[in-house]
Amino acid sequence: MASTFPIYDFLSDYEVAMLRADVDAMLGDASLNAVSVSYLSFNITGGGTSTYEPTTGAVTSGFTTTAITAIIGPVTEKDSALLVKELSIDDVKALVNRADLPADPTTNDMVTISGVTYAVRIVTFCPVSNYALVYLSLHGGK
Protein backbone atom coordinates (compact mmCIF):
# COMPACT_ATOMS: atom_id res chain seq x y z
CA MET A 1 0.00 0.00 0.00
CA ALA A 2 1.30 3.48 -0.85
CA SER A 3 1.81 6.25 1.66
CA THR A 4 -0.98 8.67 2.52
CA PHE A 5 1.06 11.55 1.07
CA PRO A 6 0.30 11.91 -2.67
CA ILE A 7 3.79 13.04 -3.64
CA TYR A 8 5.21 9.90 -2.01
CA ASP A 9 2.82 7.40 -3.61
CA PHE A 10 5.77 5.75 -5.32
CA LEU A 11 7.10 4.67 -1.89
CA SER A 12 5.95 1.52 -0.16
CA ASP A 13 4.76 1.59 3.46
CA TYR A 14 8.07 -0.06 4.40
CA GLU A 15 10.08 2.70 2.67
CA VAL A 16 8.03 5.43 4.36
CA ALA A 17 8.54 3.68 7.73
CA MET A 18 12.30 3.55 7.10
CA LEU A 19 12.35 7.28 6.26
CA ARG A 20 10.50 7.99 9.49
CA ALA A 21 12.96 5.82 11.42
CA ASP A 22 15.88 7.71 9.87
CA VAL A 23 14.42 11.04 10.94
CA ASP A 24 13.76 9.68 14.45
CA ALA A 25 17.36 8.43 14.67
CA MET A 26 18.69 11.89 13.80
CA LEU A 27 17.55 13.24 17.16
CA GLY A 28 19.80 10.72 18.91
CA ASP A 29 22.87 11.55 16.78
CA ALA A 30 25.13 13.85 18.83
CA SER A 31 27.12 14.81 15.72
CA LEU A 32 24.02 16.59 14.40
CA ASN A 33 23.98 19.01 17.34
CA ALA A 34 20.86 17.72 19.10
CA VAL A 35 20.29 20.04 22.06
CA SER A 36 17.71 20.72 24.72
CA VAL A 37 15.68 23.84 24.00
CA SER A 38 12.66 25.61 25.46
CA TYR A 39 9.86 25.88 22.92
CA LEU A 40 7.42 28.70 23.68
CA SER A 41 4.10 27.95 21.97
CA PHE A 42 1.82 30.93 21.45
CA ASN A 43 -1.27 30.48 23.62
CA ILE A 44 -4.17 31.00 21.22
CA THR A 45 -6.86 30.77 23.90
CA GLY A 46 -5.15 33.46 25.96
CA GLY A 47 -4.55 35.65 22.93
CA GLY A 48 -0.82 35.28 23.44
CA THR A 49 -0.74 38.05 26.01
CA SER A 50 0.51 37.94 29.55
CA THR A 51 -2.03 38.83 32.19
CA TYR A 52 -1.65 40.30 35.67
CA GLU A 53 -4.06 39.53 38.48
CA PRO A 54 -3.81 42.52 40.87
CA THR A 55 -5.43 40.80 43.86
CA THR A 56 -2.96 37.90 43.89
CA GLY A 57 -0.03 39.46 42.04
CA ALA A 58 0.04 36.46 39.70
CA VAL A 59 1.30 36.91 36.15
CA THR A 60 0.35 34.37 33.50
CA SER A 61 2.36 34.00 30.33
CA GLY A 62 0.93 34.24 26.84
CA PHE A 63 3.09 31.24 25.92
CA THR A 64 3.23 27.59 26.94
CA THR A 65 6.86 26.59 27.52
CA THR A 66 7.90 23.02 26.70
CA ALA A 67 11.39 21.50 27.14
CA ILE A 68 12.24 19.47 24.03
CA THR A 69 15.22 18.15 22.08
CA ALA A 70 15.86 19.71 18.67
CA ILE A 71 18.53 19.41 16.00
CA ILE A 72 20.02 22.86 15.50
CA GLY A 73 21.94 24.12 12.49
CA PRO A 74 22.84 27.38 10.77
CA VAL A 75 20.68 28.92 8.05
CA THR A 76 22.54 28.63 4.73
CA GLU A 77 22.41 30.74 1.59
CA LYS A 78 20.54 27.85 -0.04
CA ASP A 79 17.87 28.00 2.71
CA SER A 80 17.48 31.73 2.21
CA ALA A 81 17.21 31.39 -1.58
CA LEU A 82 14.71 28.53 -1.42
CA LEU A 83 12.46 30.23 1.11
CA VAL A 84 12.47 33.62 -0.61
CA LYS A 85 12.56 35.32 2.77
CA GLU A 86 15.25 37.51 4.19
CA LEU A 87 17.17 35.44 6.70
CA SER A 88 20.25 36.73 8.52
CA ILE A 89 23.62 35.07 9.03
CA ASP A 90 22.85 34.72 12.77
CA ASP A 91 19.55 32.92 12.14
CA VAL A 92 19.29 29.20 12.84
CA LYS A 93 17.05 26.30 11.89
CA ALA A 94 15.77 23.58 14.18
CA LEU A 95 14.24 20.18 13.48
CA VAL A 96 11.56 19.52 16.12
CA ASN A 97 9.24 16.60 16.80
CA ARG A 98 5.68 17.92 16.60
CA ALA A 99 4.58 15.22 19.08
CA ASP A 100 6.74 16.91 21.75
CA LEU A 101 4.78 20.18 21.45
CA PRO A 102 1.32 21.10 22.75
CA ALA A 103 0.38 22.33 19.23
CA ASP A 104 1.91 22.48 15.77
CA PRO A 105 4.63 25.13 15.45
CA THR A 106 3.57 28.54 14.14
CA THR A 107 5.26 31.84 13.35
CA ASN A 108 3.82 33.21 16.61
CA ASP A 109 6.10 30.90 18.65
CA MET A 110 9.57 31.41 20.09
CA VAL A 111 12.47 29.08 20.93
CA THR A 112 15.13 29.60 23.60
CA ILE A 113 18.50 27.97 22.90
CA SER A 114 21.28 28.36 25.48
CA GLY A 115 19.61 31.43 26.98
CA VAL A 116 19.04 33.16 23.62
CA THR A 117 15.41 33.57 22.51
CA TYR A 118 14.59 33.40 18.80
CA ALA A 119 11.34 34.18 16.98
CA VAL A 120 9.97 31.46 14.70
CA ARG A 121 10.00 32.99 11.19
CA ILE A 122 9.14 30.05 8.93
CA VAL A 123 7.71 26.56 9.58
CA THR A 124 7.87 23.65 7.13
CA PHE A 125 6.35 20.25 7.88
CA CYS A 126 7.96 16.95 6.85
CA PRO A 127 5.44 14.99 4.75
CA VAL A 128 6.71 11.56 5.83
CA SER A 129 7.27 12.07 9.56
CA ASN A 130 5.97 13.98 12.54
CA TYR A 131 8.76 16.56 12.35
CA ALA A 132 8.82 20.23 11.47
CA LEU A 133 11.74 22.39 10.39
CA VAL A 134 11.50 25.82 11.99
CA TYR A 135 13.62 28.77 10.95
CA LEU A 136 14.51 31.03 13.86
CA SER A 137 15.57 34.65 13.90
CA LEU A 138 17.00 36.94 16.55
CA HIS A 139 15.32 39.80 14.73
CA GLY A 140 11.72 38.60 14.88
CA GLY A 141 9.36 39.80 12.20
CA LYS A 142 7.40 37.71 9.73
pLDDT for position 1: 33
Say if strands 110-113 and 116-125 run parallel, antiparallel, or are unpaired: antiparallel
- Other residues' Cβ atoms within 10 Å of the Cβ of residue 55: 5
Q: Please indicate, yes or no, if residue 113 is contained in any of the structural domains.
A: yes
Q: Burial of 94 by CB count in 10 Å (0-12 exposed, 13-18 middle, 19+ buried)?
A: buried
Distance CA 54, CA 52 (A): 6
Look at residue 66 and tell me if it is in a domain.
Answer: yes
- pLDDT tens across 8-64, in order? 566 677 777 777 676 666 655 555 667 888 888 887 555 555 666 778 777 666 788
Cα separation of 137 and 118, whole Å? 5
Asked if 121 contacts 86 with a C-beta cutoff of 8 angstroms, the reply is no
Domain assignment of residue 65, given as a range: 33-137
106 within a domain of the structure (yes/no) = yes
Number of domains in the chain: 1
CATH number at residue 129: 2.40.10.270
